[in-house]
Amino acid sequence: MAGRKRVNGKKDGRGSGGNRDGRPPKDKTEAILDALERAVKKYAKSLSTTWETEFAKLMFDTSASNRDRIAAYKLFMDAMIVKKQSKDVTITNVDGPAIRLPPVKADPAKVIPMTGKK
């Protein structure tokens, strides 16, 4: 049969067969964190609130134990510090271009006039 192969009864789209859209593939940690974030948002939506609001309530809840409040505050501060540091990346050491170019040679197609006796 000519044409593109079929997957689950549908024609296979062009360019499929791998991650070719320029993004690097996700590693296992990113996939787990994405799944956890989706689950937390889904649960917060079922409570008609946001997970950020519930986290803030835990940080400032006076009826909660100090240990829980300090742990929530530490998590929040660690996330903020990492986020701030990742934005402030500066490169102070520049050695030159990352790609080395060959030296420029004279164009052999140019006619060079010769001077002297005829």
pLDDT tens by residue, 43-83 = 889 989 988 888 888 888 888 888 988 888 888 888 777 66
**Over residues 34-44, mean pLDDT:** 88
pLDDT given at position 51: 83
Q: Is the pLDDT of residue 22 over 60?
A: yes
Phi, psi of 6 (to 5 degrees): -105, 140
**Over residues 78-90, mean pLDDT:** 68
Tell me which residue of 51, 30, 24 sits closest to 40, measured CA to CA: 51
Domain boundary assignment for the chain: 50-86
pLDDT tens by residue, 2-13 = 555 666 666 555
CB atoms within 10 A of CB 31: 11
User: How, if at all, do strands 10-11 and 6-7 pair?
Assistant: antiparallel
